[in-house]
Amino acid sequence: LAKTTQPISMDSYEGQEVNITCSHNNIATNDYITWYQQFPSQGPRFIIQGYKTKVTNEVASLFIPADRKSSTLSLPRVSLSDTAVYYCLVGDINRDDKIIFGKGTRLHILP
């Protein structure tokens, strides 16, 4: 299982774009990159998933460079409600395999 490294915490202000980078140097060929969001007192929730280049949905964008050794979750124009822990996970989604949640990045949005 590829190990991921991401910042422990980040602060930003309402209205700003927030970029959270995750490092996964030993990502395997079949591995996908998935991000989850966890609000206090709730379980994690899927945000976005990608394999290469760029993926965008209504919540976020995911940028993956050609070497796939890192990825960046981009949250446009954050609000106070985006305060949460964000987890980056790497794994082969085509296998019935477990995925490992790291410590995540605690994002704190300030007014």
Partner 1 sequence: DAGVIQSPRHEVTEMGQEVTLRCKPISGHNSLFWYRQTMMRGLELLIYFNNNVPIDDSGMPEDRFSAKMPNASFSTLKIQPSEPRDSAVYFCASTLPRGEQFFGPGTRLTVL
Binding-site ranges for partner 1 (CB under 8 A): 34, 36, 41-46, 49, 87, 93-94, 96, 98-104
Q: For residue 84, give both structure tokens.
A: 């949460």
Least distance in angstroms from the C-beta of 82 to partner 1: 18
Least distance in angstroms from the C-beta of 75 to partner 1: 18
How many other C-beta atoms can be found within 10 angstroms of the C-beta atom of residue 77?
A: 10
Kind and range of the H or E element at 36? strand 32-38
| Alpha carbons 84 and 17: distance in angstroms, whole number | 15
| CB closer to partner 1, 65 vs 100 | 100
Helix segments in 24-76, DSSP class H: none
| CB closer to partner 1, 35 vs 75 | 35
Least distance in angstroms from the C-beta of 16 to partner 1: 27
